[in-house]
Structure 1
């Protein structure tokens, strides 16, 4: 996924349960997307907020994230029992063919694995293993990001199970895995997008997803 974030990458060196920097984004990039955005369905009545959009080299919006519940905090040694309750939904355009910015080549197609990787990295960005010095977290994050990619590239492997959740009111099958840091899931919709999601403190088993009718209401 060769994309960049319009709102800026989440910083990797926040400490002490501080809110993840740049977690909130503006609505501008979301309005430029040629695909529908997804969030939790109406059964969720808590806070909702925009995060980042990711763009291709040519500036086209390719994916973005919408948060629900408590805004994620980086978990440090002093906050291992204070994880917050949140679920973030990642929407990524299903592009079987993606051209490079100069038009001379093709990029890897987006897939459910792409959604799983974005969700896995999103969870890592607001995670801090207990007893780890902050100077070591960048190395840990690099290693875990690579692991998240390996896992996302093997959705039929033993680390994943299947979970059926409603999407626009219709049951859909998702790939699902849990870790000590939270959970990650990924699947597809009938609206031409792939969905990823991650969270902690909020069970994934009772979630449902639906198209966001008015993205400006999330500002």
Structure 2
């Protein structure tokens, strides 16, 4: 997640006229300062949740998002939701997807019903369905069949995304079952579903809404807790 800026119009090092003691850089853009991957997490106005101490495997930073119109004018910076990963990180090669074992926790800020950013409509308050949708779409992105070509892959993603949306909008429906898991040591009800691609669950925690998805890791054996030190997800 580091951001760098390429200097335009300078000669390679060692070439005549290249920057150096005799030819200092007087124009062009300076390289951008590296972006701290934890900065978006630290800017959030809500607590982050991950798997609790029962998980002893690898932990890694996921992604942070800010939904258009989700924040009120008083919340003009920071995050609206984000993920923290556990186990195997996202596979770079499609064929490696089937052997990955992972569980990803999605934390969603509690936001009230509000006007849209362009003031043309009303946005619903965030809910467990919001967490379910983000978790479901995250699972799809992590497990799409690698053997599909680009055109078929998009059709598959469109079809499965529509299904995930419908399922998230009906957490009390037959597509979900009940599952009780510990959150900060206390039992908390969740809605849970499995598919051939993995599992998804959604529920609540103090101050936030929680979603999670995984594959190769049993959902029945996980627990959640507020993250006291994000450094454990940075690998330090």
The answer (yes or no) to whether the contact 1:67–1:89 under 8 Å persists in 2 is: yes
Structure 2 counterpart of 1:85: 101
TM-score of the aligned structures, taking structure 2 as reference length: 0.75
Larger Rg: 2
Matched residue, 1:132: 148
Q: How far, CA to CA, are the matches of 2:139 and 2:130 in structure 1?
A: 14
TM value normalised by structure 1: 0.81
Name which of 5, 28, 43 aligns with 2:54. 43
Aligned-partner Cα distance in 2 for 1:29–1:98:
23
Aligned twin of 2:207: 192
| Shift of residue 102, structure 1, vs aligned partner | 5.2
The answer to whether the 8 A contact 2:198-2:213 is kept is: yes
Alignment RMSD: 2.2
Q: 2:66 aligns with which of 35, 46, 55?
A: 55
How far off is 1:182 after superposition?
A: 0.2
Match of 2:224 in 1: 209
Are 1:64 and 2:82 matched, yes or no? yes
Alpha-carbon displacement from aligned partner over 1:108-147 (angstroms, at most 9, x marks no partner) = 2100000000000000001223753333101211121111
Distance 1:176 1:105, change over 3 A: same
Aligned twin of 1:110: 126
Alignment partner, residue 158 of structure 2: 142
Question: Any gaps of 5 or more consecutive residues in structure 1?
Answer: 1-5, 8-24
Q: Relative contact order: is structure 1 or structure 2 higher (C-alpha 8 Å, sep ≥ 6)?
A: 1
Instruction: Report how many aligned residue pairs link the two structures.
Output: 194
Displaced runs of 4 or more, over 4 A: 102-105
How far the C-alpha of 1:152 sits from its partner, in A, is 0.3
Structure 2 CA distance for aligned equivalents of residues 130 and 88 of structure 1: 20
1:31 is matched with which residue? Answer: 42
